[in-house]
Amino acid sequence: MQFKLPFFQQLKTYKGKTFLADLIGGLTVGVMLIPQGMAYAYLAEIPPVYGLYASIVPLIVYMLMGTSIYAAIGPAALTSLLAFSGLNHAGITDPDEFLNAILVIALLSGLIQFLMGVFQLGKIVNFISKPVLKGFIFGAALTIFLSQMKSATGIRINAHGSIDTLIALISNISTFSLYTILISGLSIAFLFYMKRFSRKIPNQLIVMIVTLLIIYFFNTENSGVSILGTIPEGLPNFSIPLLDWELVKLLLPVSITIAFISFVEVFAIGVSLEDKKDQGNLKPNQELMALGLSKFIGSFFLAYPTSSSFSRSAVNKQAGTNTNVSTIFTVGLVVMTLLFLTPLFYFLPNAALAAIIIVAIIGLMDFQYYKALWRIDKRDFLMFGVTALVTFLIGVQEGIITGVVLSMMSLVYAVSFPHTAEVGLVKGSLDTFRNVERYSETDIQDEILIFRFDAALTFANIPHFIKKLRLYESRKKNLKFVIIDANAIDSIDTTSIDTLKEISEKYNENDIRMMITCLKGPVRDQFKKTNMFAILGEDNFFPSISEAMRDIKGEKRLVDPKIAFQANPQRKLRKD
- For the cut 90, the answer to whether the pLDDT of residue 552 exceeds it is yes
Paired sense of beta strands 481-485 and 448-453, if any:
parallel
Which of 340, 371, 402 marks a domain boundary?
371
- Between 451 and 268, the higher pLDDT residue: 451
pLDDT at 222: 66
- Is residue 459 domain-shared with residue 532, that is, in the same domain? yes
Q: Which of 87-101, 182-196, 223-237, 452-466 has the highest mean pLDDT?
A: 452-466
- Between 90 and 562, the higher pLDDT residue: 90
- Does 402 reside within a domain? no
Mean pLDDT of the 202-209 span: 88
- Is residue 357 domain-shared with residue 453, that is, in the same domain? no
- Does 159 reside within a domain? no
- Is residue 356 domain-shared with residue 445, that is, in the same domain? no
Cα separation, 501 vs 545, whole angstroms:
21
List the beta bridge partners of residue 484: 451, 516
Domain count, the chain: 2
- Is residue 362 domain-shared with residue 457, that is, in the same domain? no
Which of helix, strand or coil describes residue 518? coil
- Is residue 213 domain-shared with residue 296, that is, in the same domain? yes
Handedness of CA 530, 531, 536, 541 (dihedral sign): positive
Q: For residue 299, give every residue at least 6 positions away whose Cβ sits within 8 Å of its Cβ, in sequence order, or none.
A: 103, 104, 106, 107, 110, 241
- Between 364 and 497, the higher pLDDT residue: 497
- Is residue 184 domain-shared with residue 284, that is, in the same domain? yes
- Is residue 453 domain-shared with residue 304, that is, in the same domain? no
Q: Which of 24-38, 131-145, 491-505 has the highest mean pLDDT?
A: 491-505
Banded model confidence at residue 277, pLDDT cuts 50, 70, 90 = low
Compute φ and ψ for 450, nearest 5 degrees. Answer: -110, 110
- Is residue 361 domain-shared with residue 479, that is, in the same domain? no
Which of 337, 371, 405 marks a domain boundary?
371
- Does 9 reside within a domain? no
Which of 344, 371, 398 marks a domain boundary?
371
- Does 384 reside within a domain? no
pLDDT digits (tens, 9 = 90+) for 425-436: 998 887 889 999
- Is residue 321 domain-shared with residue 423, that is, in the same domain? no
pLDDT at 321: 87
Helix (H) or strand (E) holding 512, with range, is none
Cα separation, 140 vs 362, whole angstroms:
11
pLDDT at 573: 46
- Does 6 reside within a domain? no
pLDDT digits (tens, 9 = 90+) for 494-525: 999 999 999 999 999 999 999 999 999 899 99
pLDDT digits (tens, 9 = 90+) for 138-164: 998 898 899 889 889 988 887 777 888
Residue type, 448: I
Query: Percent of the chain having pLDDT more than 70?
Result: 94
- Does 488 reside within a domain? yes
- For the cut 70, the answer to whether the pLDDT of residue 221 exceeds it is no
pLDDT digits (tens, 9 = 90+) for 73-110: 999 998 999 999 899 888 898 999 999 999 999 999 99
- Does 24 reside within a domain? yes
- Is residue 454 domain-shared with residue 556, that is, in the same domain? yes
CATH of the domain at 540: 3.30.750.24
- Is residue 316 domain-shared with residue 450, that is, in the same domain? no
- For the cut 90, the answer to whether the pLDDT of residue 310 exceeds it is no
Do 82 and 43 meet the contact criterion of CB atoms below 8 Å apart?
no
Mean pLDDT of the 464-470 span: 97
pLDDT digits (tens, 9 = 90+) for 371-393: 999 999 998 999 999 999 999 99
pLDDT at 121: 87
Mean pLDDT of the 199-206 span: 80
- For the cut 90, the answer to whether the pLDDT of residue 269 exceeds it is no
- Does 1 reside within a domain? no
Q: Tell me the residue range of the domain where 90 lies.
A: 19-129+176-371
- Is residue 363 domain-shared with residue 429, that is, in the same domain? no
Of 297, 290, 386, 319, nearest to 73 by C-alpha is: 290
Mean pLDDT of the 547-560 span: 85
Q: What is the mean pLDDT of the chain?
A: 89
